[in-house]
Amino acid sequence: MSHTEQSLSEKARQGFEAQFHRAPAWVVRAPGRVNLIGEHVDYNGGPVLPLAIELQVIIAAAPNQSDVVRLQSAGWPEVVEISLNGPLEKGEPAWGNYVRGVIAGFQQRDVTIPGFDAFIVSDLPHGCGLSSSAALEVATATLIEVMTGAALTLRDKALLCQKAEHEFAGVPCGIMDQFASTFGKADHAVLIDCLSQEVTPIPLRASGVAFLIIDTRVKHSLGDSAYAERRRTCEAAAATLGVKTLREYPVSRLDEAEARLDPISLRRTRHIVTEIARTFEAVKHLQAGAWSELGKLMYASHESLRDDYEVSCLELDEIVRVAREIGEAGGVYGCRMTGGGFGGSAIALINAPDLAQVKERIQEGYRLPKGISFISTRAADGAGLVQG
């Protein structure tokens, strides 16, 4: 256990004791994720290349001898109470819906869940594109597995959490976030084929490179209509082109698509099919440690997300602009927005010895009034039990 994880776990234990006046029986954790490349292709059946990160959600919990779940979060003032008598429905506060959805998923599997109290802590910044919601879902599912003995396969756990986000948070997300939080492996990226749901750990031969997350501090909500609209557009484009998903449509046929799709649908389709090709190419460069080539793909991915998929923003574009100006000579191999977009974070691939200098130069070169912050991370393990 890292020092950071140990201190966060202790914060969860102390918070539980202060709120519920006894010691927790279990402590569980689940990480956030950052995606190296493969953006918005998960719900189109494409490949994605995330890694679980060291920032995470930790839940301390104990049974309470009732039929009510009581939740307190260090990040939110409200106490959430969830009655286990009868079907669960969405409610307020909204953050409790991630937990409600996971509980409902286990109940649909005929798992009897006893009442329990839980205290939740996280060092994942909310809304910065690092999948804090998926981490909360996966941590909740891990807790229920531990407390009931109803262990799921990693795949089934991730899919249960994805369904919770669809039905209780109203976000039609793909499988990437929940799979990354569940299947993550230290010092590995995770190649997830979202069509076959096959997961392949990719060793990070990265002793000389660092992954730098730059948070724009511009908050986004994937529940906004823009995300759902893009998914609908992709599904309609696939139907028009005669394929089940855009994963099945090759780059070589984009000229044909131009005659069959309206301009917006064409741009969305072009991003998806070229991003899929970039992701498969990126795996080869990652395995070979070909950082310059991987960096070029990251820049190309950002341009496609900005121009064709239109999910970037001024702040993300500014970070990528500064990174390009610094260039390889200054220690930056590549940079792109990561996550759903409309704010959130960028990820930069950095020559490790230049990391401190790169941070300074990005901070100095960033011209927009709202500040940015930095997160350096290593690839971490997926969800698990800390105590219990």
Tokens 């970070």 belong to residue: 319
Examine the residue annotation and report whether 177 is marked as an active-site residue of this protein.
yes
What single DSSP character describes residue 242?
Answer: T
Which is nearest to 46 in space by CA: 213, 185, 181, 231?
231
Question: What are the strands, taking DSSP E only, across the chain?
Answer: 26-35, 47-48, 50-63, 68-73, 76-83, 116-122, 188-193, 198-203, 209-215, 332-338, 345-351, 373-377, 384-387
Which is nearest to 22 in space by CA: 61, 58, 71?
61
How far, in Å, CA of 249 to CA of 31, rounded? Answer: 33
How far, in Å, CA of 294 to CA of 2, rounded? Answer: 29
Which residue is catalytic, options 42, 117, 177, 308?
A: 177
Contact between 337 and 316 (Cβ < 8 Å): yes
Peptide bond preceding 77 in cis form (omega within 30 of 0)? no
Looking at residue 3, its amino acid is H
| DSSP codes joined into one string, 308-351 | TS----HHHHHHHHHHHHHTGGGTEEEEEEESS-SSSEEEEEEE
Other CB atoms within 10 A of residue 291 CB? 20
The residues annotated as belonging to the active site are 177
